Amino acid sequence: MIGRMNHIGIATPDVEKAAKVWLELYGATKAHDAFDMPEQGVRVKFIDLPNSQIELIEPLGDASPLLGFLARSPAGGQHHVCFEVEDIFAARDDMRTKGARVLGTGEPRMGAHGTPVIFVHPKDSGGVLVELMQIPAEAIS
Ligand code: CO
């Protein structure tokens, strides 16, 4: 079963410009430094909210999976929602048992928080791309 919502992923052509919206228009108080994830083809910048985070993601490189998204929505937009799970392999197997499509090879890969993640196809979730993220063991009470 999924746990807490960890973050909302928002695709944008420019994470620094996008961050200003959340800081200046909506009054978010903390933006983290952006960092690159070359293997995932994204540049990432997190905005802290009282109960969650916004993950701003910008294409990085010619093979970025975000390029198609931004071709359809040049100004950017909501890309995925991330929920926490205790065991990423158990979550992956549960998704497959229930007939949902796990993207890629299905092998969890390292997410932006440094814990393993998988993505479930939006067609299995009413059009929502869902990221499942294993929370660090020390966060499990
Ligand atoms: Co994410």
**pLDDT mean for each 10 residues of the chain (141 residues):** 95 98 97 96 97 97 95 97 97 97 93 94 97 85 55
In the reported structure, the alpha carbon of residue 93 is separated from the centroid of ligand 1 by a whole-number distance in angstroms of: 20
What number of other Cβ atoms are within 10 A of residue 46's Cβ?
20
- Residue 138: the pLDDT is 75
Separate counts of helices (H) and strands (E) for the chain: 3, 9
Please name the residue that has the structure tokens 């960890």. Answer: 6
Residue 75 gets which letter from DSSP?
T
- Residue 141: the pLDDT is 55
Task: Give the sign of the dihedral formed by CA 60, CA 37, CA 7, CA 102.
Answer: positive
What is the topology classification, in CATH, of domain 2-139?
2,3-Dihydroxybiphenyl 1,2-Dioxygenase; domain 1 (3.10.180)
Structure tokens at 115: 């814990």
Q: Ion ligand 1 — residues with CB under 5 Å?
A: 9, 55, 82, 131
In the reported structure, the alpha carbon of residue 8 is separated from the centroid of ligand 1 by a whole-number distance in angstroms of: 7
In the reported structure, the alpha carbon of residue 80 is separated from the centroid of ligand 1 by a whole-number distance in angstroms of: 7
On whether the CB atoms of residues 84 and 4 are closer than 8 A, the answer is yes
| Active-site residue identified among 55, 58, 84, 131 | 131
On whether the CB atoms of residues 133 and 111 are closer than 8 A, the answer is yes
**Residue ranges of the alpha helices (H) in the chain?**
15-20, 66-72, 88-97
In the reported structure, the alpha carbon of residue 70 is separated from the centroid of ligand 1 by a whole-number distance in angstroms of: 16
Question: Is 24 noted as a catalytic residue in this protein?
Answer: no
What number of other Cβ atoms are within 10 A of residue 131's Cβ?
22
